Structures are given as C-alpha cells and as structure tokens.
Amino acid sequence: MTERALTETIFNDNNLSPSITGKHIMLVEDDMSLAEWFSDYLSEQGYLVTLATRGDIAIELIEADQPDLVILDIMLPVKDGFEVCQAIRPFYRGPILMMTARDHETDEVLGLELGADDYVVKPVKPRVLLSRIKALLRRVSSQETVSTVAPAVTSETDENILSFAKLTIDANSRTTTLAGAKVAISSNEFDVLWQLAQSADKLVSRKELVIQRRGIDYDGFDRSIDILISRIRKKLGDDASNPYRIKTVWGKGYLFVKGAWE
C-alpha cells in the first residue's frame, strides 16, 4: 500500500463528514497511536485531517494537497522535520506547527529559522494544541482579508502601504522593497516588520509582538520574536552587531527607526 493510500485509508476509517471549519490539516507523525489520537481529536473539532508518516512522502503530499496547516513532528523516518520544513517552504505558504518530544532550545531556534511558525513540545495538552492551531489559522485569515479588500489601485495615502525613504512595505501584496529591489521575506517576518513599522519611532514590546503573532500571552521565555527580528535585520541590511534600523531596547522590546532608511 502506498503512503497516499495509507493516508486516505486513515481518513476514511475515521468516517469523517466534510469539515465543519473547512480547514484541512496535514499531520506528519510516525507514531501511529499518537497520530490517530490527534486525528480523532481534531476531527471532533471540525477539521479535515490527513496523515503522512514519513518525511519524504510528506513533502509530496503537502505540495500536492496544499493543506491549510501542517503539524510537523521532528523525529521522522527518511527525512526529519527540519528537512521537511526547509523543503516545503519554497512552495508552501501556509502555517507550520512543529512538534517534538525533545525539549531543546536549539530545536526551536532551528525550526523557526527554517520557516516554522510555532513550536510545541510533546506531550502537549489537547486544548493547548487546539489554541495554537486556531491562532495560526486566524492570522492567515486576517492576511487573506487584507488581500481581498485591497483596492485595485493604490495611492501614496493608502494606509496599507508604508514608505520610509528607500523602504516600502505593502500589506496589499504583502511585499517589501528596499532601494527598488524586492526583499524575499517570510510571512512571519512580514507580520513582525509590519507591526514594528506601523509604530515607527515608538517602542513595541516583545509581549505585544508575541500576542499579535501567536494570539497567546508572552511567557517571558519565547525567543521566536528575537529570531525573526534577527532575520529581518539581515535581509534589510541592518548591522547585526550594532543595529540602527531596528533597535533593541534591552528588557523592553524593539524600536523601528523611521529615519534610518535613506
């Protein structure tokens, strides 16, 4: 039996009706008992759930099916979760929630650097998993709303376009240009940059950034924002050792400098 056939069999065996939420979750997990438990729980919440148990096959399924969200275990046969995350980012723009039994900070950092949107450590409580999923999907929904209501013709006064000398951030098309060149930034990076730029020359706390990005309160230990800021600085030509465009205010947050983009 092929991996795709296995996936479809598991889905059909759950006797699922069409998803109440209309959202399709791809679960990439090789522990069958855990995978079936997660599938049953999420199906009860109204999600359509399909399963891949190997990293290499997960890449093929994600590219073909384009699910609304991917839950990606790190410890997988053939290709691990890090390899899968890196491989799918060029063609998959949906949220990726990484999941692992290893409570290592380096795993979280690497996953976020490769393009993951969030990270949970097993064993994870069902309601915690569900809240993370809902927060990620809400963010995607809000992005799509901005795109849908964007005017066909924009102007310099369009509130969805922010310009700072050589830097332009366009929420209509979710694009960023610097000195006339398009900057390849991820969806996560764009969200953080947009939030900072909207408050140019004003301090934005880590707590505000975390709540806006993940829909949950800041626990004082979340390093995802720091990682995203570091990546944004690198792509926008900021000085990593002495940043002057997006400054760190130690112990408080970040400051987007309005006049630093000449």
Q: What radius of gyration do the chain's Cα atoms show? A: 19
Higher pLDDT, 18 or 201: 201
Residues in CB range of 17: below 8 A, 6 or more apart: none
Q: Which of 218, 221, 223, 214 is nearest to 195 (CA)?
A: 214
With contact defined as beta carbons under 8 Å apart, do 82 and 111 qualify? yes
Q: How far apart are CA 225 and CA 237, in angstroms?
A: 18
Residues in CB range of 251: below 8 A, 6 or more apart: none
Q: Which of 136, 56, 70, 72 is nearest to 107 (CA)?
A: 72
pLDDT in tens, 67-106: 999 999 999 999 999 999 989 988 898 889 988 876 666 6
The reported pLDDT for the residue numbered 22 is 76
pLDDT in tens, 130-167: 988 988 888 776 655 444 444 444 444 568 899 999 99
pLDDT in tens, 177-201: 999 898 887 777 888 899 999 999 9
Query: What DSSP string runs through 43-78?
Result: HHTT-EEEEE-SHHHHHHHHHHH--SEEEEESS-SS
Average per-residue pLDDT for the chain: 80
The reported pLDDT for the residue numbered 104 is 62
Does the pTM of the predicted model rise above 0.75? no
